[in-house]
Structure 1
Amino acid sequence: MTEATMLAPGTAWLLLVGFSVLWIALGIWWGRRGKGDADDYLLAGRNIGLALSTATLMASWVTGNTTLAAPEVGYTLGLWGMFGYALAGLGLFLFAPLAVRIKRLMPRARTSGDFVRLRYGRLCWAIFLIITLAYTLGFLITQGMGAGLLLQSLSGFDYRLGMVCVIGVSTIYTLFGGMRAVVGTDFIQSLLIMGLLVLVAVLGFSRFGPGEVYTALAAEHPSRLNLLLPTGLLFAWNTGLFSMGEVFHNNIWWSRVFASRPAVVFRSFVLGGLAWVTVPVVTGSIALMALAQNLSVPQVNMVFPIVTAQLLGSGGAAVVFIIIFASLTSTLDSLLAASADLIAEDVVAHWLRPGSSDLQIRQAARAVVVGLGLLTMLLSWQYVTSMYQLLLFTGALVASTIWPIAMGLYWRQANRRAAATAMVLGSVTGLLAYALIAPYCAALVSAAVSALVMGLGSHWWPERFAWHQLAGPEPAR
């Protein structure tokens, strides 16, 4: 065990193997309970209740970035880093009313791509798919890197070993169980994450109280308490818009809408958002505690596990291991399942092989799960950048989809050419802002340009869309 190791290798192996076997066994068990058709594999039979729906939304949004990157920005930006990251919960809150409308307008749909194709046509649909798949790959890579960093920092394992293990486990149980396995494991993972985070917060602040933290920060790091910090304000705005773009466009959240019962859709998004907000607040407060105590943090993107282990000893390292392992697997399984749904339904069934049978769609989805798992391992093989910097880069893409999605759901006059142009120009200007101004500006600029193009284009060249077209034909059987 090296000097930097916080968790004994034997303990780390025990936790890794134990939870891996548990998730895989549950995935196989839930998969065998299903009916075996595409709707069951992709959407858990469209019958998820309130508890499972809320838990899977919260667990899917508690990513490796939430537990690793949220403390990073809390450590570097202070209060606005903590509260600004918590604004990512806006995506779930604001999508709640849209989810109800989606459920009513598209009772038989399976993906977010179904909406864009039926609402705006094939050109906009192709642009949307490119944006979605680029973002998904970026998101998957951040989770793969987070997995490698977890085992490397906590137990001294090789970076690639941790990455391959966590991605491999998520891929296997998602492959066998589909959405049923994802939702079921998400429920357990959400309970683990919330319960252990409360334990960390209580134990941490019992040793170093909030008053002591504030006094120390005011004396040595006053800028971290400045709520008018320009960088912090810009970060907060960017985070809110980024979360809206991610949730509004990503099939993770649309698949939850289609998989849940109509009566629980609105409440599950609101409750899931409320539960999620507590996570960056708790992990960010741990980062502030590290600043106040001047604890040594050699890797800023691993501030949460490093500080928790220093505060709570080997037991704290084990707690952190479980929290981050659960958050990584809960996000990876959701990304794999939702992406498989999107590619099998949109790319295969509506493009490459029109008229695919129900069985062919299910087989395609399973193949995509395996392919994406292997591709994520390959792209995550080397740790190349900060997890949050990569997410800020993809934020320039997803923020361009906010207004085409929102206006397309409520505004009959929304123009298909304006939607396609808004996505392209928003993405391009957002990426330019990322490179030429600051990464925190990317989503803000992208969303602003997209809103302007979408609003003006639809006002000057309005269309008269018939809402019944969104109902679409029955999925393949």
Structure 2
Amino acid sequence: MTSTQIDFHTTIVILTAFSILWILWGWYLGKGSKSHDEFVLAGRNVGFALATATAMATWVTSNTTLVAPQLTFQFGVWGMLGYSMAALGLILFAPLANKIKQLLPTGYTSGDFIFTRYGKAAWIAFLIISLCYALGWLISLGMAGGILLSSLSPVSYHTGMTVIIFVCVAYTLLGGLRAVIATDFAQTIIIISGVVYIAYACINQAGFENVYQDVQQHQPELLNLLFPAAIMFFFNNIFFGIGEIFHSNVWWSRAFAFKQGVGKKSFLVSGLLWFPIPIVTGFIALSAYSLGIFPESPDMVGPLVAANVLGASGAILVFIIIFSALASSMDSLLAATADLISNDVYKNTLMKNASSQQTMAFNKAMIILLGVITWLICLPKLATLGALLNFTGAFVASTIWPIIYGLYGKSLSGRGAFIAMVMGTITGLICYFQIGFYTAALSSCFISLLVCQYFMRFKPIMFEWHSQCGK
């Protein structure tokens, strides 16, 4: 054990305390969820403060606290700024949230919209994309828990990964979306306070001038604003972030759960608050050279720098911050993905006459199943977090234009939306493997746009919502 690691006893105490805290809170909050609607949408009555906190905390994931430093370490200034552009997803979703609530006042999932607007074929393609993305994000979160513990304590990767998955499954299962949103509020406060403090400590110890000189000496291309791969990553990440939020049922479920008129304000504010966090965590990574830290894996640079600056107490603080960030994202993803399966596949397709209690029971079973699948896939560490997460960019970016044109336009057909999502995803995957992970979302979004434009210009339809709303 190094001097910057948490000792085994302290690690177990923190893990146990946080696990018990979140699980008991989830149980307490879930006591009032007696119906499927209350369990998955918190009664559709979430106010501004909790709405903003849950959007903010869910988007501050392991990716923000671990991958943002990794990408800054790899791409420099563009990596830092490029990751912060993911805030555009939250900001641009703000007007969409109100539109979603208006068009589908009794809707449950993003799949409800796709099926109503585009039909079964597009819905199947969208569902596959959503599940691939959700699984990729869940795996990255599970891996991050293992990486966190193994880099900051004597506890193994497998133990950390197992604990974070178990805890999130447990309190999501007990409390549903109400527990997810309430815990997100507390986790937001922990995350913001901790990140600001660590950044201050890094600046105070390393100094801006020393950081600049050491980066220039060891990796001068990180300061090069004409670094080609980094520029490509910058634009790729914009569309990746927008695609993640626009398509994911994590955000659609919140649009349905928030009070009327709250969605637009809460998503806008949460996006503005989130924007500087990757810049702050990115600077922490650039401090590595000044502190003589050269991590074996780039996705470990953030925790190692913070632990080095603050010692054992810093390792504890980093652990608490990232544990909170992991939990705030994994619980949201578990709940939203289980909702998508239980509503779209079980309730609307397989068991159309299922009662509220039957649907809620199936939903809980899906939460457990998703947790088990994630744990099994996480057993071998597959790749770095950045590479794994950006693999899903090929999928999600293909949905941006079908969703926008579906919400605000009438001429895109179901066939056009289907082909746009399929062709965009295939192109993105080809570019991911043949060129680099930083091209997947960009190419997927571009091809999807071309297909949508072709169908709207040459094979348009005239869709009317009317009685379709709430279907």
**Given the two structures, how large is their TM-score scaled by the length of structure 1?**
0.97
Residue 424 of structure 1 aligns with an amino acid whose one-letter code is: V
Does the CA contact (< 8 Å) of 1:297 and 1:307 recur in 2?
A: no
Structure 2: which 5+ runs fail to align? Answer: none
Could you say what the CA RMSD is over the residues aligned between the two structures, in angstroms? Answer: 1.2
Residue 306 of structure 2 aligns with an amino acid whose one-letter code is: T
- Distance change in 2, residues 1:103/1:389 (3 Å): same
Residue 72 of structure 1: aligned partner: 70
Offset at residue 470 of structure 1 (A): 4.1
Identify which of 384, 388, 391 aligns with 1:390: 388
Describe how 1:430-445 pairs up with structure 2 within 5 A. 430-445=428-443
SS in 1 for 2:155: coil
Identify which of 152, 155, 159 aligns with 2:153: 155
Residue 454 of structure 2: aligned partner: 456
Residue 315 of structure 2: aligned partner: 317
SS in 2 for 1:290: coil
Whole-angstrom CA distance in 2 between matches of 1:157 and 1:388: 23
Residue 86 of structure 1: aligned partner: 84
Describe how 1:359-398 pairs up with structure 2 within 5 A. 359-398=357-396
Residue 173 of structure 1: aligned partner: 171
Residue 21 of structure 1: aligned partner: 20
Offset at residue 472 of structure 1 (A): 2.6
Offset at residue 378 of structure 1 (A): 0.8
TM-superposition CA deviations, 1:206-228 (whole Å, max 9, x none):
11222332233334432211122
Residue 9 of structure 1: aligned partner: 8
Residue 110 of structure 1 aligns with an amino acid whose one-letter code is: Y
Paired residue total:
471
Residue 426 of structure 1: aligned partner: 424
**Given the two structures, how large is their TM-score scaled by the length of structure 2?**
0.98
Identify which of 236, 239, 260 aligns with 1:238: 236
Identify which of 41, 44, 47 aligns with 2:42: 44
Whole-angstrom CA distance in 2 between matches of 1:3 and 1:301: 19
Whole-angstrom CA distance in 1 between matches of 2:325 and 2:219: 30
Residue 250 of structure 1 aligns with an amino acid whose one-letter code is: S
Offset at residue 35 of structure 1 (A): 4.1
Stretch of structure 1 that moved more, 167-176 or 458-467:
458-467
Does the CA contact (< 8 Å) of 2:141 and 2:326 recur in 1?
A: yes
Residue 24 of structure 1 aligns with an amino acid whose one-letter code is: I
Offset at residue 295 of structure 1 (A): 2.1
Residue 16 of structure 2 aligns with an amino acid whose one-letter code is: V
Describe how 1:288-367 pairs up with structure 2 within 5 A. 288-367=286-365
Describe how 1:263-274 pairs up with structure 2 within 5 A. 263-274=261-272
Whole-angstrom CA distance in 2 between matches of 1:470 and 1:132: 23
Does the CA contact (< 8 Å) of 2:33 and 2:175 recur in 1?
A: no
Residue 446 of structure 1: aligned partner: 444
Whole-angstrom CA distance in 2 between matches of 1:145 and 1:119: 36
TM-superposition CA deviations, 1:119-163 (whole Å, max 9, x none):
000111011001100111111100111111111111121211111
Percent identity over the alignment is 46
Whole-angstrom CA distance in 2 between matches of 1:17 and 1:191: 21
Offset at residue 388 of structure 1 (A): 1.1
Residue 353 of structure 2 aligns with an amino acid whose one-letter code is: G
Instruction: Indicate whether 1:253 and 2:237 are aligned.
Output: no
Whole-angstrom CA distance in 2 between matches of 1:377 and 1:248: 27
Stretch of structure 1 that moved more, 120-129 or 276-285:
276-285
Residue 85 of structure 2 aligns with an amino acid whose one-letter code is: L
Whole-angstrom CA distance in 2 between matches of 1:40 and 1:86: 34
SS in 2 for 1:109: coil
- Distance change in 2, residues 1:4/1:298 (3 Å): farther
Q: Which runs of 4+ in 1 moved over 6 A?
A: none
Residue 198 of structure 2: aligned partner: 200
